[in-house]
Amino acid sequence: MKVTSLLLLAALGLSSCKWGEPQKQAPAAIFTDTAAYTYQAIHERAADCGSKPDSACTVVDIKYPVFKGKAVLNDTIKHRLLNIFMLGEKPDTSLNSLVANFLKSYTDAKKGDPRTEMFYTLESYAKVIRQDSALLALEYGGYSYQGGAHGGSFTGFVNWDVKTDKPVTLDDILVDGYKPQLTKIAEKIFRKDEKLTDTSSLADDYFFKDNKFALNENYSITPAGIRFVYNQYEIKPYAAGQTELLLPYSQIKTLMRPKSAASQYIHKNAGI
How many independent structural domains does the chain possess? 2
- pLDDT score of 117: 83
Same structural domain, 111 and 215: no
Nearest to 131 by CA among 217, 36, 224: 36
- pLDDT score of 113: 82
**Alpha-carbon gap, residue 107 to 48, rounded angstroms:** 9
Same structural domain, 117 and 231: no
Establish if 65 belongs to a structural domain. Answer: yes
Same structural domain, 164 and 181: no
Same structural domain, 137 and 148: yes
Which residue type does 103 have?
Answer: L
**Alpha-carbon gap, residue 196 to 256, rounded angstroms:** 27
Last residue of a domain, one of 144, 168, 192: 168
- pLDDT score of 26: 35
Establish if 152 belongs to a structural domain. Answer: yes
Quick check: 39 and 53 in contact, CB under 8 A?
no
- pLDDT score of 32: 54
**Alpha-carbon gap, residue 16 to 8, rounded angstroms:** 12
**Alpha-carbon gap, residue 143 to 128, rounded angstroms:** 18
pLDDT in tens, the chain (272 residues): 443 333 333 333 433 333 333 333 333 444 455 689 999 999 999 999 999 999 999 999 999 999 999 999 999 999 999 999 877 677 788 999 999 999 999 999 998 887 778 899 999 999 999 998 889 999 999 999 998 888 999 999 999 998 899 999 999 999 999 999 999 999 999 999 999 999 999 999 999 999 999 999 999 999 999 999 999 999 999 999 999 999 999 999 999 999 898 988 886 664 44
Range of the domain at 253: 171-268
Same structural domain, 213 and 162: no
Same structural domain, 205 and 260: yes
Burial label, 107 (beta-carbon count in 10 A; 0-12, 13-18, 19+): middle
Establish if 17 belongs to a structural domain. Answer: no
3-class DSSP state for residue 118? coil
Quick check: 231 and 155 in contact, CB under 8 A?
yes
**Alpha-carbon gap, residue 190 to 206, rounded angstroms:** 12
Cα 27–chain centre separation: 27
Q: Which residues contact 22 (CB under 8 A, 6 or more apart)?
A: none
Quick check: 162 and 251 in contact, CB under 8 A?
no
- pLDDT score of 94: 94
- pLDDT score of 9: 38
Last residue of a domain, one of 122, 145, 168: 168
Q: What's the chain's length in residues?
A: 272
- pLDDT score of 132: 86
Same structural domain, 121 and 205: no
User: Considering the entire predicted model, what is its pTM?
Assistant: 0.83
Establish if 9 belongs to a structural domain. Answer: no
- pLDDT score of 8: 37
**Alpha-carbon gap, residue 118 to 148, rounded angstroms:** 10
CATH number for position 215: 3.90.640.20
Same structural domain, 158 and 204: no
Establish if 87 belongs to a structural domain. Answer: yes
- pLDDT score of 114: 76
Establish if 28 belongs to a structural domain. Answer: no
Last residue of a domain, one of 168, 191, 214: 168
Burial label, 221 (beta-carbon count in 10 A; 0-12, 13-18, 19+): buried
Same structural domain, 177 and 125: no
CATH number for position 161: 3.30.565.40
